[in-house]
Amino acid sequence: MNIEKAQLIFLFNGLLFISIMLSNQVGESFYLFCLIGLLLNIFLFLKRHTFLLRSENTSSKSSRIPNSLEQNEIMSDLEREMVHRREVKKLNKN
């Protein structure tokens, strides 16, 4: 379930709980069950929200920094490419 649907369900449940609690036609034991359901809903919403935030943070950290060996290989490849382009420029000038 994506976050938009979860937020809409949370909003709907919240409005439902508030409307039931404002009506005077139910017994007091029903209020207890509504309160338990509301707290459970809030807990699950916050748990899902923090899980999504944590997964976004780990995905941004997953673009890891290359180690020194990989950096040396990348730099040598770039150096070779620069030399090749300079040679091509020299040949094009002549």
Is pTM beyond 0.75? Reply is no
What would you report as the CA-atom Rg of the chain, rounded to the nearest whole angstrom? Answer: 30
| pLDDT digit string, tens, across residues 15-46 | 777 777 677 666 677 777 777 777 877 887 78
Do 17 and 36 form a contact (C-beta atoms < 8 A)?
Answer: no
Measured CA to CA, the distance from residue 55 to residue 43 in angstroms comes to 18
Measured CA to CA, the distance from residue 62 to residue 43 in angstroms comes to 28
Better-predicted residue by pLDDT, 36 or 7: 36
